Amino acid sequence: MFDLGMDFSTLEETEALGGVFRQDGQADDLVRILAQNGTNAARLRLWVDPYGEDGAPFGGGTCDLPLVIRLARRAKDAGMRFLLDLHYSDFWCDPGRQLPPKAWKTLRLDELETRVYDYTRNVLHTLEQAGLTPDMVQVGNEITNGMLWPIGRLSDPEPGKARQGFDALSKLVNAGCRAVRDGSSARIMLHLERSGDNAVWREWFDRLLARGADFDVIGASYYPYWHGNFTALKNNLNDMIARYQKDVMVVETAYAFTSEHFDPTQAGANLVINDSLKCYDGSDAPYPLTPEGQRLFVKELLELVASLDGGRGTGVYYWEPAWLPLPGSTWASEAARIYMQEEEKPGGNEWANQCIFDYQGNATPALKEFQAFSKKI
């Protein structure tokens, strides 16, 4: 089964701010539009306690467990499978930040192991009681550099040098994986970025597997601006299939449909991807930052993953396709930026030009590539 997935974790927040979604001029419920266009899976992130000490929401969807339950029910009602993305943090986890939840920050390694296990089991039990057991669970989000810092942090990758920290990281990852095995029949995914960097990926999975990691699927983030070209991605994923005999998925991807800011004065957040057509390594972006360029990117990526060796490329998830740039939409509230110690950064919506709904909520042509692909599988 090939997952044609979407991560729409900000949906409720966007709807509460007045977001309306349309395809071919017709307004409809977002989940229904996605399902009608071939989407058969939803990825939903979960933060432990995304609120400030005074109860102020962190933004970015404020993805607590009650929200995940509501969105998972909408997804299941639309016939979608459900991938639960456990961050083990109160807010965003990525290569540059893996902060422990506020209530966990003084725990020792052995205490963190126990907390990861118990928290994971409790989340899965709650979802089961609601009739929403996930089909797949991610233990951590983009954990290339570790999780639950500083205890579970890996040293930086350096050519010719072994990274340090795998003993502690593996204990935390294994605790989460055991909890999923003990508490559900869900498949388990481990998720990295740097998806064109084969040396980093080989070392990471070699070291985790040598320490008993028990999982089913390798998940990748793939944003060409940061992760390289399609050839590097395909070569790395095929190597993962051959080396570890695991299914692989791209569980985060996106591509800009415009380089123009939704706010001409740019008084709010800067867009993560703006007018640059160069990737981090100096190579050209694969397509122009236009609706047609976005469509071609989606088409090529779907075909690439489906063509991986042995039929073991089993899904693509588009990340936040409907995060409209409405007044009040923000990747991080003031309370969240205090938690992250990033008070100097602006709030606002940094992602809006990478959605597959434009600034007015109209579906871009990329959405119909999902529909066309769904008819082939």
Q: Looking at the annotation, which residues are catalytic?
A: 142, 252
Cα separation, 49 vs 58, in Å, equals 9
Cα separation, 323 vs 212, in Å, equals 38
Cα separation, 284 vs 168, in Å, equals 39
Task: Return the C-alpha torsion angle 305, 306, 309, 310, nearest 10.
Answer: 140
Q: Determine what percent of the chain falls in helix, strand and coil, rounding each to the nearest 5.
A: 35, 20, 45
Q: Which residues in 198-234 are b (16+ Cβ under 10 Å) and which e?
A: bebbebbbebbbeeebebebbbbbbbbbbbbbbebbb
Under 8 Å between Cβ of 337 and 92? no
Under 8 Å between Cβ of 1 and 311? no
Cα separation, 50 vs 196, in Å, equals 32
3-state secondary structure of 35: helix
The type of residue at 276 is: S
